[in-house]
Amino acid sequence: MHIHNLSQQNSILNTFISEIRDSTIQKDRMRFRRNIERIGEILGYEMSKVLPYKLSEIKTPLGTSKTHLIADDIVLCSILRAGIPLHNGLLNYFDTAENAFISAYRHHKENSDGFEIIVEYLACPNLENKILILADPMLATGKSMITTFEALKPFGKPKEIHLVSTIGAQDGVDYVEKYFDVDTHLWIATIDETLNDKGYIVPGLGDAGDLAFGDKLQH
């Protein structure tokens, strides 16, 4: 798998990452969502550099102009609910993409630290021979990413697969790297060293879904 860790080079991205981590700035939900969205835009721009292109001719009022445009259809799939701001950032740049949404959440049996990933909702177009962008803001254990991809398999085989995350743990990155094909790309803003005993990224930022949309009741 090709791993593109954007934190290895300093850029304005550092500012947005620092703000989504900052426990004081996190209290502003609108700013938190916007920062995740901006990170999605940067990740999407960097990803666009490696996509397949074709030469196209554009008619202007005064003549024609030739330029290279993305050659293949794109499907952007995000994991609800935390993935919505990241999805919006990517969609700002890939605005003609088809969209897929899936609900995948951690189910802790009898309040234990161990968990399984439950999928309850999925809406997806045909994926056959298209570019699949699979977005999940937090790549912790990697289980959600893989469970989501398994659920997408009946919809066709993508031509290319690109995984997009805001913050990941090294364990999660290693886990998905073992699962996905060597030609898969992972685009990630930064990678933290470890997980805690509940499977959350440390130092991470907390629960991205709660920070974006408010606390949820457990059931």
What is the reported pTM?
Answer: 0.91
Cβ atoms of residues 130 and 162 within 8 Å: no
Dihedral sign from CA coordinates of 112, 27, 77, 55: negative
* In this structure, CATH architecture of domain 2-51+72-213: 3-Layer(aba) Sandwich (3.40)
Q: What's the pLDDT tens digit per position in 152-206?
A: 999 999 999 999 999 999 999 999 999 999 999 999 999 999 999 888 899 999 9
Partnered with residue 54 across adjacent β-strands are: 69
Q: Where are the domains of the chain?
A: 2-51+72-213
Give 96's Cβ-side CA count (13 Å radius). Answer: 6
User: Which of helix, strand or coil describes residue 198?
Assistant: coil
Give the H/E segment covering residue 29: helix 29-48
Contact between 77 and 148 under an 8 Å Cβ cutoff? The reply is yes
**pLDDT tens-digit readout, 16-61:** 999 999 999 999 999 999 999 999 999 999 999 999 999 999 999 9
